[in-house]
């Protein structure tokens, strides 16, 4: 059995600069030991601690699909000490990974349901993992209709453009990409995510809504979903509290009696309503 505190060695195989500002990059890692890769089996919505020796660790959601067994991807915004050091690394450099941690999205409930994804900014990462998982030919038949409403501040801030282009050609996916403000080249939707959600008005019938994004987007999207008939049990959020150990030991991430790292980071809106408003 692996020591849960011990990061497993990986190598950066590829990096993709996702946005115009250049401060959001996707890192593709390959585990050095096949046994470590085999042990890293995850559910969409889980996260891992990325470890840089002599620098520190930080929790990052897993952005690739569990169907991609050869590699694992994380999309990271440059914020502070660890993420800046990570952005300086190049292909071939080593990074430690420990995890996966957290509960992930409720895949049992999602199977057989219609799925409505409401996402803003770079918080799209774990929902991108989920989308690619659901769209995989081995899985697609197990899920109902998929609607995605994804927005960013500007066209240059949209991430996973290569996935968005691919998804736009599919007829089993209802994709709405919007920006707060367009530019000369932008011919798509312009508007905030909650108002596009209101216009698209996805049916709440046998549906679960997964919401990830900046707090203001979540705050204005939830009333729209409630108005459309989604119950608090059918609205699912992922939280990004500050964390340390990631595994329910240090008590840095608790909200009331819940550890976000262990009991979450995925909670239904009904569960969040029962917690102190510290998130
Ligand atoms: C479950 C989970 C999943 C996450 N997934 C992603 C992801 O997919 N991609 C990604 O880029 N980031 C993600 N984050 C956020 C990421 O963990 C932080 O940005 C990172 O820890 C910052 O580390 P740092 O050492 O670079 O910054 P620090 O030097 O520690 O801090 C830099 C600045 O960022 C602020 N900060 C640090 N952590 C957080 C946080 N969790 N919430 C709000 N402010 C914070 C600090 O207050 C400070 O102002 C996730 C966080 C959690 C808990
Ligand atoms: S981060 Fe240590 S208990 Fe959650």
Which ligand is closest in space to the CA of residue 48? 1
pLDDT value at residue 242: 81
Ligand 2 in reach of 261 Cβ (< 6 A): yes
**Domain annotation for the chain: domains and CATH numbers:** 8-101 (2.40.30.10), 107-238 (3.40.50.80)
Mean pLDDT computed over every residue of the chain: 95
Q: Which residue has the higher pLDDT, 40 or 279?
A: 40
Band of residue 274 on the pLDDT scale cut at 50, 70, 90: very high
From the CA of 56, give the closest atom in ligand 1: 25
pLDDT value at residue 39: 93
Q: What span, in angstroms and rounded, lies between the C-alpha atoms of 2 and 12?
A: 22
From the CA of 246, give the closest atom in ligand 2: 1
Q: Hey, which of 4-8, 147-151, 251-255 has the most confident mean pLDDT?
A: 147-151
Mean pLDDT along residues 22-43? 96
pTM of the model: 0.95
Q: Is residue 81 predicted with pLDDT exceeding 80?
A: yes
pLDDT value at residue 131: 98
pLDDT value at residue 123: 92
Q: What span, in angstroms and rounded, lies between the C-alpha atoms of 247 and 181?
A: 40
Can you read off the two tokens belonging to residue 95?
A: 């990074």
The 10s digit of each residue's pLDDT in 101-159 is: 999 999 999 999 999 999 999 999 999 999 999 999 999 999 999 999 999 999 999 99
Q: What percent of the chain has pLDDT over 70?
A: 99
Ligand 1 in reach of 240 Cβ (< 6 A): yes
Could you tell me whether strands 94-101 and 47-52 are parallel, antiparallel, or unpaired per DSSP bridges? antiparallel
pLDDT value at residue 1: 61
From its phi and psi, is residue 82 left (phi > 0), alpha (psi between -120 and 50) or beta? alpha
Pocket test for ligand 1, best of 18, 46, 74, 83 (most atoms within 8 A of CB): 83
Tell how far the Cα of 124 is from the centroid of ligand 2, in angstroms: 23
pLDDT value at residue 279: 66
Band of residue 240 on the pLDDT scale cut at 50, 70, 90: confident
Band of residue 3 on the pLDDT scale cut at 50, 70, 90: confident
Ligand 2 in reach of 144 Cβ (< 6 A): no
Mean pLDDT along residues 24-29? 98
């Amino acid at each position: 059995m692996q020591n849960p505190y011990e990061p497993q060695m990986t190598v950066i195989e590829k990096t993709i600069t996702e946005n115009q500002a250049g401060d959001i990059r996707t890192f593709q890692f390959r585990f050095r030991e096949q046994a470590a890769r085999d042990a890293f089996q995850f559910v969409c919505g889980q996260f891992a601690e990325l470890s840089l020796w002599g620098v520190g660790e930080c929790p990052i959601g897993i952005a690739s699909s569990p169907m991609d067994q050869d590699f694992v991807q994380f999309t990271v915004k440059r914020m502070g000490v660890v993420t800046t050091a990570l952005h300086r690394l190049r292909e071939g450099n080593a990074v430690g990974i420990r995890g996966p941690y957290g509960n992930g999205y409720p895949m049992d409930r999602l199977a057989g349901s219609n799925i409505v994804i409401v996402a803003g900014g770079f918080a799209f990462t774990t929902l991108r993992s989920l989308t690619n998982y659901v769209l995989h030919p081995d899985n697609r038949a197990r899920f109902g209709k998929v609607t995605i409403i994804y927005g960013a501040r500007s066209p240059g801030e949209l991430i996973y453009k290569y996935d968005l282009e691919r998804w736009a050609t599919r007829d089993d996916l209802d994709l709405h990409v919007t920006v707060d403000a367009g530019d000369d080249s932008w011919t798509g939707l312009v508007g905030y995510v909650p108002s596009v959600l209101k216009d698209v008005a996805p049916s709440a019938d046998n549906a679960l809504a997964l919401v990830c994004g900046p707090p203001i987007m979540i705050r204005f999207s939830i009333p729209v979903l409630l108005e459309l008939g989604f119950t608090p049990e059918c609205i699912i959020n992922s939280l990004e509290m500050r964390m340390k150990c990631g595994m329910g030991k240090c008590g840095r991430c608790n909200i009331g009696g819940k550890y976000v790292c262990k009991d979450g980071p995925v909670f239904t809106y009904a569960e969040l309503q029962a917690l102190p408003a510290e998130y």
